[in-house]
A and B are shown apart, each in its own frame.
Chain A
Amino acid sequence: MAKPHFHESYFAELKPGASTDVRDLAVNRKTNLPSGNKGVLGPGFALVIRHQRILWWVFAANFVLGGLGASSAARALGHALHHNLAGEKLTNTFDLGIFAELVTQPDVKLFGHSGGIAVFAGIYVLFLLFATPGIVSVYMEDRRFTTGEFCQAAGSYFWAFVRLALWSLIPFILLDTLFQMVKALSDYVDERVAVDQAAFCALVIGIVPVLLLLVWVRLWFDLAQARAVSLKTRDMRRNVARTFGIAVRHAWRGYGAYLLICIFVSIATALVLLMWSRTPGRAVWLTFVLLEIIMLTHIFGRLWQKACATTWYRLNPEPVPPPPVPPPWEPYRQAPAEQASGSVQDVDAPLSAEVEAPPSEELNQSQQS
């Protein structure tokens, strides 16, 4: 006997009454997206551009917190250099000797202000944790949210996303362990093999799969975020497990998009750094602009990935539950033809090829029991 397609555990993840929302979403998907399992790179890009307000807000937060992180150091530098000609050795070129002076002199101790970097980078991470559910919701619904809607979406999933982030630490730590093993292997090779480049090659060969896995894990958890918002579920343990299966079996197109975005961001960063390398030492404003372009590119790339994951999830929805079981006092007979029609069946389509549809009688029996 074939196992039921839509088993209880699936329903258990949903909040009461959520099934209706899922069907609503399924309808929405059909209206705003290209049909079928097409590429997600373009739609994802379009999604980020359509909702570029998010991009600018995230960038603004990143910039403001970066500035705050530097403010303490800037004050110390101002105290040391504003009325000092030694600073000239840092402007036309960058004299490491004078910089070392700034780092080591007790009345400046520049690196003593590096705590600001960690603190404000941490605040930025918290900001992202808060904003991400809102961002995913906007991308999922593909409509402009009011500030209130955004904050509501962000707030209602904040702790769920915190739990999701904590769950993501498990694979990240495993990957870090893998990286340490690769590094140990490289050290081992370095110790014993006379060929100079052997250890480096071992490191590169070992790191590439780790990096590829890292990107895949990111995709997995981005899909989990999309799924959580889509299904309004807060059970992150089941969500992570479920999305793992989805990412393994179906999300390779999304993975390709993630890799392409990584490559795009790397190339863009390299190009901007090349321009920066040709910038005159005194052109501080130009340096500032170029460095901020790098940051903007990184943020854009990350949002693009999230948009791709959301788009993929919208294009490839999971099977949704069957219609509610009628009350027992109303005799109910469901014709097979009825079950196979309608929007619910459309939503299931992408996955149905791999999973056998349950016989309706068995499903009814199991639900009645």
Chain B
Amino acid sequence: MRIGKTLLLLTLLSFPILPLAAQSPFAPKVSGPLSQRVVAYVIDARYDPDKHSVDATETLTYHNLTGQPLDRFPFHLYLNAFQPKATWVRETHRDGGFRTSDLEDSWDAKNEGSSDVTSLEVAGMGDLTKQMKFISPDDGNADDKTVFEVQLPRPVQPGEDVVFKMKFHAVFPEVLARTGYKRTFLLAGQWFPKVGVWWHGAWNCHQFHGMTEFFADFGTYDVKITLPKSYVIGATGVQTAEAENSDGTKTVAFHAEDVHDFAWTADPTFKVVNSEFDGSVGAVKIRLLTYEGHKSSWDRYITIMQQSMKRFDEWYGPYPYAQITVVDPPHGAGEAGGMEYPTFITGDTAWWAPKWQYLAPEGVTEHEFGHQYWYGMVATNEFENAWLDEGINSYTEAKVLDDIYSRDTSILSLLGVHLGEPAYQRQQYLDEPDFDSLARPSYTDMSFGSYGSISYSKTATMLLTLETVVGEKTLRTALHNYFLKYRFTHPTQEDFLRTVNETAQQDLGWYWQQAVYGTGMLDYEVYSAESSPVNWYDPNLEEKKGETDYETQIVLHRKGEFVFPVEAEIKFDNGESDRVRWDGRERWVRYVYTKKAKVVSVQIDPDYRVTMDRNYLNNSDTDQTQHLAVAKITTYWTFVTQLLGQMLGWLT
């Protein structure tokens, strides 16, 4: 009997997790592998919600597909960024950063996070814990511990595997820059030691910087997480098993393939809303982890997810995974909102989120889903070319939201006040438009403001403007081709530019040179527009409408350095109009008309498609005084003055 109980216990310990119905990480019509799998992570983690910490073992199998022997391996320890002297904090304090404005003024102990590798063993090479050393490849900051490297006693030959076994202890900050806890909520992002990427003949393993994001190799993840059984958990990939433990905890297992990161979230108060999107490769499960207080946003989340997935599926390519997990962070955890990990995104909303604005939850959710394509599958180097992810994603955000909510109202539509995505992106771009080029390594940008203006909005604005040259459909096809060609790889910006050139069947180098590699501004103006009688010298001239011949001269002026072809619309007082196209190569151009009509108005870019133009207010000229807009704003301005006076007058 005693032996029997022991055997039973051993049996239970050997199979501690009850597998769920066999679940593929892919959509029904997809089978892997989809990528060249470089890494295979097996992690067994235990979460302590009181200490907001994780103790875990990690086994990483690295396949050396570099074609050369490797004896030095760098690893990211991102959570060490949340320490006062770390480069991330230093830069965020100096330049601003992701949702971390508090760091500009003060440091709070709650901001502190850490990741300690307590042991590191390499199969067949022994314990190499003492070989670990922190390095600072970007800025030489000796206090930065976000990257360590380990020197192996012998190199790993091409085609050979190497297995790293690590034990680590991670402490999360109160939610900060896309990771951490808030009350009982936890978003565990960048929480485990992650190996760098061998890219273009060298290790690419940057320190964690204030402005940029991440870069990692594709592979598989098998992660078990043990946490109190009251917790609801969600993670990258699909859940494969769950078992309750005798100590009041449970262990949940997840599996993911052909992804390059793994994040998870947990909260005992999560509500789960399940839905589905039926795309070209079969049904994809949408799993929303949200809160009772956000009930008014549940449908909005699901609807925008389905609408976005439909357009991405039709326009760019299929979403091949079985599931997408959408996390709706609790109130006060805004720093966890608006983030992307493979098959796992975080949105943002509030219990009072008005239905007339689409920035949250719709805009954020769409944007983060877009990352599944431009970061998740087309895995560009976000440290160096953030625009290939954030920028292209901002462009597709504009296209998708415009398609759903219309071009002029895709951000806001209330009482006649509206804002569309193109205008929004343009204004964001114009914040700090000319400090950095897109081609500059993003983590070296002048400030977070410049990083945002350039990486996100200049790219979106630049691609929207390019539509006027190659056409909207061609650009959509180019993105489709780019996605199909480079999904599950690490393309460069040249790969992207080449794909657009090939699809458009033209050399757009003139454009890329200015828009991607340059910082010049695009600005055109109507310099003059005048009509005078042809027989102006005739002392007996009597001007009669429809009878007198007029010579109309129009001068357009390129004020900025950026050369770009533009259209201009010229209208005459007899109802005629003409559209001309100017290549913009010279500094100015003159158009002359001889008609029995006077010019009424001239407008450059009458359809407002050249969104890179830095000043729309100098794009037109008309001889008909436009009172209405001035009267409208003046009316409100007057009212504000009156109201303020009356409010202050309440004190008398």
Chain A residues near B (Cβ < 8 Å)? 62-63, 65-67, 69-70, 73-74, 77-78, 80-88, 90-91, 93-102, 104-105, 107-108, 110, 116-118, 120-125, 128-129, 132, 161, 165, 168-169, 172, 190-192, 194-197, 199-200, 218, 277, 281-282, 284, 287-288, 291-292, 294-295, 298-299, 302
Is the beta-carbon distance between A100 and B617 smaller than 8 angstroms? no
Q: Which of A97, A291, A294 contacts B423 (CB 8 A)?
A: A97
Residues of A within 8 A of B430 (CB): 104
Is the beta-carbon distance between B627 and A82 smaller than 8 angstroms? yes
CA distance A321 to B649 in the complex (A): 35
Instruction: Given A124-B649, A287-B632, verify A295-B617 contact (CB < 8 Å).
Output: no
Verify if B591 is at the interface (C-beta below 8 Å from A).
no
Q: Name the CB-closest residue of A to B649.
A: A128
Is the beta-carbon distance between A96 and B640 smaller than 8 angstroms? no
Is the beta-carbon distance between B635 and A284 smaller than 8 angstroms? yes
Residues of A within 8 A of B617 (CB): 80-81, 84, 86, 101-102, 105, 107-108
Residues of A within 8 A of B601 (CB): 85
CA distance A84 to B604 in the complex (A): 11
Residues of B within 8 A of A128 (CB): 649, 652
Is the beta-carbon distance between A277 and B415 smaller than 8 angstroms? yes
Contact with A along B398-439 (1 / 0, CB 8 A): 000000000010001001111110111011001000000000
Instruction: Given A100-B427, A129-B652, A196-B291, verify A295-B646 contact (CB < 8 Å).
Output: yes
Verify if B124 is at the interface (C-beta below 8 Å from A).
no
- Residues of chain B from 504 to 545 with CB closer than 8 A to chain A in the complex: none
CA distance A291 to B635 in the complex (A): 8
Residues of A within 8 A of B412 (CB): 96
Known contacts A120-B645, A298-B643; 10 additional CB pairs below 8 A are: A70-B638, A74-B633, A81-B626, A83-B621, A93-B408, A94-B632, A124-B642, A132-B652, A196-B331, A284-B632
Is the beta-carbon distance between B291 and A82 smaller than 8 angstroms? no
Residues of A within 8 A of B632 (CB): 90-91, 94, 281, 284, 287
Residues of B within 8 A of A132 (CB): 652
CA distance A62 to B422 in the complex (A): 40
CA distance A80 to B408 in the complex (A): 22
CA distance A199 to B330 in the complex (A): 13
Q: When A and B form their complex, which 10 residue pairs have the shortest distance between CB atoms, in order from nearest? A: A97-B423, A196-B293, A87-B629, A69-B641, A124-B645, A66-B642, A121-B645, A70-B637, A85-B620, A96-B419
Q: Which of A91, A97, A118, A298 contacts B420 (CB 8 A)?
A: A97
Instruction: Given A197-B351, A284-B631, verify A86-B641 contact (CB < 8 Å).
Output: no
Contact with A along B5-34 (1 / 0, CB 8 A): 000000000000000000000000000000
Verify if B198 is at the interface (C-beta below 8 Å from A).
no
Is the beta-carbon distance between A125 and B626 smaller than 8 angstroms? no
Instruction: Given A82-B627, A104-B430, A291-B635, verify A65-B641 contact (CB < 8 Å).
Output: yes
Residues of B within 8 A of A81 (CB): 617, 626, 629-630
Verify if B639 is at the interface (C-beta below 8 Å from A).
yes
A sample of 6 inter-chain contacts (CB < 8 A) reads A65-B645, A74-B637, A83-B622, A98-B423, A128-B652, A287-B632
Q: Which of A63, A67, A77, A107 contacts B633 (CB 8 A)?
A: A77
Interface residues on B, range: 35 or more
Is the beta-carbon distance between A85 and B626 smaller than 8 angstroms? yes
Residues of B within 8 A of A292 (CB): 639
Is the beta-carbon distance between B650 and A302 smaller than 8 angstroms? yes
Instruction: Given A83-B621, A97-B419, A284-B631, verify A194-B330 contact (CB < 8 Å).
Output: yes
Is the beta-carbon distance between B648 and A125 smaller than 8 angstroms? yes
Is the beta-carbon distance between B426 and A97 smaller than 8 angstroms? yes
Is the beta-carbon distance between A69 and B637 smaller than 8 angstroms? yes
Verify if B623 is at the interface (C-beta below 8 Å from A).
yes
CA distance A262 to B620 in the complex (A): 48
Residues of B within 8 A of A196 (CB): 291, 293-294, 330-331, 350-351
Least CB distance, A58 to chain B, in whole angstroms: 9
CA distance A78 to B184 in the complex (A): 55
Verify if B80 is at the interface (C-beta below 8 Å from A).
no
CA distance A10 to B613 in the complex (A): 74
Q: Name the CB-closest residue of A to B603.
A: A85
Least CB distance, A71 to chain B, in whole angstroms: 8
Is the beta-carbon distance between B625 and A83 smaller than 8 angstroms? yes
Q: Which of B183, B291, B408, B619 contacts A86 (CB 8 A)?
A: B619
Q: Which of B423, B615, B635 contacts A105 (CB 8 A)?
A: B615
Is the beta-carbon distance between B418 and A95 smaller than 8 angstroms? yes
CA distance A104 to B614 in the complex (A): 10
Residues of A within 8 A of B1 (CB): none
Verify if B616 is at the interface (C-beta below 8 Å from A).
yes
CA distance A117 to B644 in the complex (A): 8
CA distance A170 to B648 in the complex (A): 15
CA distance A64 to B65 in the complex (A): 78
Q: Which of A98, A125, A165, A172 contacts B645 (CB 8 A)?
A: A125
Verify if B269 is at the interface (C-beta below 8 Å from A).
yes
CA distance A35 to B482 in the complex (A): 88
CA distance A172 to B183 in the complex (A): 36
Instruction: Given A66-B645, A218-B650, verify A91-B629 contact (CB < 8 Å).
Output: yes
CA distance A107 to B635 in the complex (A): 21
CA distance A78 to B633 in the complex (A): 10
Least CB distance, B55 to chain A, in whole angstroms: 26
Q: Name the CB-closest residue of A to B642.
A: A66
Residues of B within 8 A of A85 (CB): 601, 603, 606, 619-620, 622, 626
Residues of B within 8 A of A86 (CB): 616-617, 619-620
Verify if B101 is at the interface (C-beta below 8 Å from A).
no
CA distance A298 to B643 in the complex (A): 9
Is the beta-carbon distance between B627 and A62 smaller than 8 angstroms? no
Least CB distance, A207 to chain B, in whole angstroms: 16
Verify if B628 is at the interface (C-beta below 8 Å from A).
yes
Is the beta-carbon distance between A82 and B625 smaller than 8 angstroms? yes
Is the beta-carbon distance between A302 and B623 smaller than 8 angstroms? no
Task: Identify the interface centre among A124, A132, A281, A282: most chain B CB within 10 Å of its CB.
Answer: A124
Q: Which of B183, B427, B629, B642 contacts A97 (CB 8 A)?
A: B427
Least CB distance, B621 to chain A, in whole angstroms: 6
Q: Which of A105, A116, A284 contacts B628 (CB 8 A)?
A: A284
Is the beta-carbon distance between B639 and A95 smaller than 8 angstroms? no
Verify if B634 is at the interface (C-beta below 8 Å from A).
yes
Verify if B67 is at the interface (C-beta below 8 Å from A).
no
Q: Which of A66, A194, A287 contacts B183 (CB 8 A)?
A: A194
Task: Identify the interface centre among A83, A84, A294: most chain B CB within 10 Å of its CB.
Answer: A84
Verify if B248 is at the interface (C-beta below 8 Å from A).
no
Residues of A within 8 A of B184 (CB): 194
Residues of B within 8 A of A291 (CB): 635-636, 638-639
Is the beta-carbon distance between A101 and B615 smaller than 8 angstroms? yes
Verify if B651 is at the interface (C-beta below 8 Å from A).
yes
Is the beta-carbon distance between A295 and B424 smaller than 8 angstroms? no
Q: Name the CB-closest residue of A to B637.
A: A70
Least CB distance, B443 to chain A, in whole angstroms: 27
Q: Name the CB-closest residue of A to B625.
A: A82
CA distance A96 to B601 in the complex (A): 24
Is the beta-carbon distance between A302 and B417 smaller than 8 angstroms? no
CA distance A123 to B644 in the complex (A): 11
Q: Which of B423, B620, B634, B642 contacts A84 (CB 8 A)?
A: B620
Residues of B within 8 A of A200 (CB): 351-352
Residues of A within 8 A of B294 (CB): 196
CA distance A284 to B632 in the complex (A): 6
Instruction: Given A101-B617, A168-B651, A190-B331, verify A95-B408 contact (CB < 8 Å).
Output: yes
Least CB distance, B556 to chain A, in whole angstroms: 15
Q: Name the CB-closest residue of B to A191.
A: B332
Residues of B within 8 A of A104 (CB): 427, 430
Q: Name the CB-closest residue of B to A69.
A: B641
Residues of A within 8 A of B603 (CB): 85
CA distance A298 to B423 in the complex (A): 37
Q: Name the CB-closest residue of B to A120.
A: B641
